[in-house]
Structure 1
């Protein structure tokens, strides 16, 4: 026996849901299914399996023991996940937004091996109490000169990067990735390219042309290290532009890193775009790792450029990293009056109750993440106000990252990371129950 119900969504789409009352108690499984409806809302329980994937009706047995039949055309996607995740989301909706309750839920997540959910609860603690030592320590932060930093942040600030589980300098990384024969071949190019750059900078027209022609003719992969080192940060933008052109004609993987660095960090948009186009015209799969790493950069400007790069050269393998970078948190160091106690990034260009109004161009720059080291706001009126430096955290919604996700997946869940994660989980589901009925 069942009763028919009609539900109407905000888009006025009507669909049929048949509620079937179960006689026996529901046996709680280790995993649960989640149906995401196109009209909005979710249904959780155990999906009843069918031999055919073209069934027009899906029946799901809920945790309370009742059965719900849903028209397949009304289903956005179906995914399967552990029951502990379902319990976490129930608990998360019920607790108060306090430090203590978020800490207790984080501890419960730890006991149930829900690592990402624990991280999320600890981050909520920091929103309420940015200097909460226990939450900071649990997330791997240490306090350095009044600023909370992760170990990766500390090591990167000191010029080290992680390589196969340990931190090495950039110079050491190059040595680790090369053998003696390669290093010898690369050294030969340093003298040549230095000479040709000197000729290009001379006052003699013929020497300039000779130097330019020699660099333009380079196609040896062993020349890449010298090209990148001597031209990548050159003050003359024409030299950096020449570097992109020269790297573009060299085959193999060696040009990928310098091209990625130019696409991410060159101050001129034209050069960044040129480097990205060069990557798009070749097999850039080995370069994707540099853009993924840039999604975690302390500068929101670099994060957004990484999103732009992955939209051009990325594939489905980068979807989880893009989802994580949809909204990123960045810390800015600002000077504020010593009398204020709370600070937050306001849409009107002020930091909390400080009364310090930023110039429009500075406000826009902070919102865009162009000042990774913060700004100093000086008082404009007498008498002088005693100032101090504080850290202000701001969460950025990264439009370029969202655009990359939309382009790669042909889906759009906005900045809702949870929905993106659920959808991605459904695409990785091997049960074959995801409906494709339009």
Structure 2
């Protein structure tokens, strides 16, 4: 908003009065006169009385700052003192920055390099860099290298920028799929055959995240959802993205529905053995017996004699848990007849051994001719003997 009003028509308007100042505009211009800030009901504005008969109203949004006469006088004094001294102009540019006189700062930086072409700080402040002994604007130099600016102002290769834009678009599409899959699921639960057909027809890999989330989140909802969950699982097998494989691997480990879990494990057997084994093996070392059981159950689809010693270590695991024992207070007396109370509770670590039939079955699958039960030492000796080369008598009669 820019308006010209008569000074005589301002009576009755609440104003914050100031002395004669200069108003700096966001467009780069300035107005000098008596400046007043007017807090209007709709749009706050600044009123500059240029002369006794003319005032100019500027919307606050279009004004940058008000500079007092005292500050302007100080600035003019610095300008006069700087003269043709390049370093003095640089110091004045620094003063202008401190006092938010940004256009004046730019001018004095330019004067600095006019007088001192190789002034490094002024050149850097103006966006120059030195290459092969010559000063060049950093932006020009970067563009000459084939780089472009991203939305954060960083210089990157055009290919990187294009990849980021595509990734952003893919992320938006994946989020739309989350909404779509949820809507389909609601319809399918209500017996909508068309929604089931739409689910079966999905071919977009970007739907993987949404389908994987529904499959994992629905693990504890019971077998009544098995038909749609099986469709989700098989759809992930078709899409076979990283997210899809991760969800299938997790299903093979933690899925409570035997039918769905074994379907996932059979597919992993044929398609993603390394991903499955790499995920399941560390679980054999868990302190949680249920996790050891789940890992051994899943690994039964991927028996490997090279992992024999890891299986043996998991035959019997020790579950450790902290427990509070004792409690309350008790009285005590020393040899001098003094007495007092002490707390009797403390924390102890309870160790509980667990035998894992699933791990034993895993060992039997790689060594069907022997069975040492839960005897770890016997199992280790057996596999160590298998790996040891046969001994031969190398002595010769003399």
Do Structure 1 and Structure 2 share a fold, with TM-score over 0.5? no
Higher helix share: 2
Larger Rg: 2
TM-score (norm 1): 0.40
TM-score (norm 2): 0.44
- Which has the higher relative contact order, 1 or 2, with Cα contacts under 8 A spaced 6 or more apart? 1
